Structure 1
Amino acid sequence: MQGISICGSVASPHGANCRRACVARNSLRLPYEINNAVTHGAYSCHWHMHKLHKNTNGRRMNATVRTNARWLFGGEGRSSDARLERSESANEDILIFYFQMDLQTRIQYALNIEQFDVAKQLREKLTEIETEIIRQREARRGSSKTEAQDKSLDLLRVRADLQKAIDSENYALAAGLRDEIAKLEAESLAVSAKALAYQNVKYAFRLGQKVRHKVHGYRGVICGMDPVCCESKSWMETANVEKLSKGPNQPFYQVLVDVYVDPELLVAYVAEENLSAAEESEKGRFDHPYIEFLFYGEDTAGDFIPIKQLREKYDQPRYEASGDENDNDGDTSS
């Protein structure tokens, strides 16, 4: 995200030896360490990701989770086609979401201990972050009604200029304006189609659902979705999006990849046509450092239950797996 550096702490499993970790984006820094009373002890570790200590086939895997996009995506390792779909912007989006929740928790804690000046400062930082997130989301997604209307107004203006050029017999200018009109008409059509996709989108998969990649075969978990591909042109070229049968104009999903399958892929951005729902036999153990702050746990079907804030982010309803109707996921609203 342009213009923001957000700093927090990464804690050990026992709450000691906290270290600073940042997602650095250009020049604006928004540190939110406030003082020892707030940032140390059990509170500072409440929302923080811990070291993973997992056993697989009798072997222990020790991995330190660092909230640093460069570490996550800049390391050396064997290349694979699957890694063409890894997305630094999707990873940063998840981390920014984590820091938002962390700031909200810090604000509440500051209020609880009556540090009102601190709470005010944190609110201001949170407002800055949320404003920038909205701005970047609009820049990535675009295709709003306002953008479509702006294109229509531009067309009217250029057509009026074309008529004036014809009336004054300035045919060279008229030829240039005709080319500009053709370009604007193509852009207007694309904007309108994308805006329509946002209004009428129907997702085949839901937040927390375990899926399998049809091409690369790895298991993943849905943690975000867009009605169309919202990545950069360079990313789409690298990921060969144009070779997809539906191209970029289909839902794309942020997918957490099991760290035991590929610890360097971590977060992929995958087209809907390349995903299928995981079979019951495939819904076994799934390990990823982001699971603990994005989901409450697993439902009776073996999928993950997204936290309320994640559902609100993507405007998704609460899903009840068969047999979970009486379970409480920490949210009483739908």
Structure 2
Amino acid sequence: MVEGVSLSTLITCGKSMLSGPFASWRAGLKPYKKFQITSMYERHWAWNHSVKRLFSDPSTSRHSDFRVEAGWMFSGGEQDLGARVERSESANENILIFFFQLDLATRVQYALNIEQYDIAQELRNKLTEVEAEIVRQQDAKRGLSSKSEAQDAALRIISLQSDLQDAIKSEDYALAAELRDEISKLEAQSLEASAKALAYENVQYSFRLGQKVKHRVFGYRAVVCGMDPVCCESSSWMETAQVKKLSRGSTQPFYQVLVDVRADVRADPNILVAYVAEENLLAPDQPDKGSFDHPYISFLFYGMDTAGDFIPIKQLREKYNRPRHEVPLDDEDGNGV
């Protein structure tokens, strides 16, 4: 979820024009250009409104009769019902910011092509701001803090340890206990961050970007569009999704997956993006070359390869630092995996 960069910052980018799908996206957000969208309700309403406009425009989808109702993403207090426990608001917002990043980059290039250099510079500045915020969020997600934050934490622990020694010498044991607890908390946070950073460096994923998968429990088909080495959702989400009951818990890879919204009758028809533990995903026994419908597909992937999986765009592979997947030659005959 973006905190440092507001939606208004992302969409207010001067007077440049751009043809194509993202023009419809920006049109849906024009009412919010003049004020800061700060409250949770305002962000949810703006997102729902813009998504409805985007995916009700035939030019943004291969299926002109296809419609998506996005209101499910922010309904609160619903009961734990089936596949819906794994739907992810943060994953949707993550994809939204990625779309904005792509849009800004395209608009910078367009402004340069028509020699509007002042506008190109303005757009480039905003793109730099967005990219910096994305990097900050990714570092936080990985358990990495800035150098200054790490130094501040280390100095804070040293200061607390000095205060602890003074409290013990003065026999102020109540204060000493409080200081000891605070030191333990800071050290635990530092250890957790280090463990998460190490997990990002050494993780081995069983599934790849663009791969078609099937949910082991709910049976729906999906496509992988993102991945984390551990569960990076909030504690409340993990409680709702009952992550503790998983055999591998929260320390296994988790995947952002796009759910087939048209064909999967066993899944909740309102689920667009789910966040699923690796142990709950299965690779198909045979190449899945069947059609797959989702409004995000055309933005994140070029199309299907000969094995039926989707080919991620270069920017998506760079986002997750994943190599290009080469389909074995025998997949053309349907014999490969």
- What TM-score, normalized by structure 2, do the two folds share? 0.76
Match of 1:113 in 2: 114
- Indicate the percent of aligned positions where both proteins have the same amino acid: 60
Supply the distance in 1 between the matched residues of 2:168 and 2:79 (Cα, whole angstroms): 61
Unaligned runs of 5+ in 2: 39-58, 333-337
Match of 2:318 in 1: 312
Match of 1:199 in 2: 201
AA of the residue aligned to 2:196: K
Matched, 1:20 2:57: no
The answer as to whether partners of 1:212 and 1:220 remain within 8 angstroms in 2 is yes
Supply the distance in 1 between the matched residues of 2:192 and 2:23 (Cα, whole angstroms): 53
Match of 1:39 in 2: none
Supply the distance in 1 between the matched residues of 2:194 and 2:26 (Cα, whole angstroms): 47
Matched, 1:272 2:278: yes
Supply the distance in 2 between the matched residues of 1:17 and 1:191 (Cα, whole angstroms): 40
> The residue matched to 1:63 in structure 2 has which SS?
coil
Supply the distance in 1 between the matched residues of 2:185 and 2:197 (Cα, whole angstroms): 18
How much does 1:267 deviate? 0.4
AA of the residue aligned to 1:21: G
Supply the distance in 1 between the matched residues of 2:132 and 2:146 (Cα, whole angstroms): 20
Q: Which has the higher helix share?
A: 2
AA of the residue aligned to 1:136: Q
Number of equivalent positions: 296
How much does 1:324 deviate? 8.9
Supply the distance in 1 between the matched residues of 2:62 and 2:19 (Cα, whole angstroms): 8
Match of 2:47 in 1: none
> The residue matched to 1:248 in structure 2 has which SS?
coil
> The residue matched to 2:223 in structure 1 has which SS?
strand
AA of the residue aligned to 1:278: P
Q: Per-residue CA shift, 1:181-211, capped at 9, x if unaligned?
A: 3333433332222222122111111100111
The answer as to whether partners of 1:12 and 1:50 remain within 8 angstroms in 2 is no
> The residue matched to 1:215 in structure 2 has which SS?
coil
Supply the distance in 2 between the matched residues of 1:244 and 1:114 (Cα, whole angstroms): 55
The range that moved more, 93-102 or 73-82, is 73-82
Supply the distance in 2 between the matched residues of 1:27 and 1:17 (Cα, whole angstroms): 21
Unaligned runs of 5+ in 1: 30-47, 54-61, 327-334
Structure 1 pair 219/131, CA: closer, same or farther in 2 (3 Å)?
same
Q: Which has the higher strand share?
A: 1
Structure 1 pair 189/7, CA: closer, same or farther in 2 (3 Å)?
closer
Structure 1 pair 120/265, CA: closer, same or farther in 2 (3 Å)?
same
The range that moved more, 236-245 or 201-210, is 236-245
Structure 1 pair 187/99, CA: closer, same or farther in 2 (3 Å)?
closer
Of the candidates 4, 7, 15, which is equivalent to residue 7 of structure 2? 4
Structure 1 pair 275/187, CA: closer, same or farther in 2 (3 Å)?
same
> The residue matched to 1:22 in structure 2 has which SS?
helix
Q: RMSD over aligned Cα, in angstroms? A: 3.6
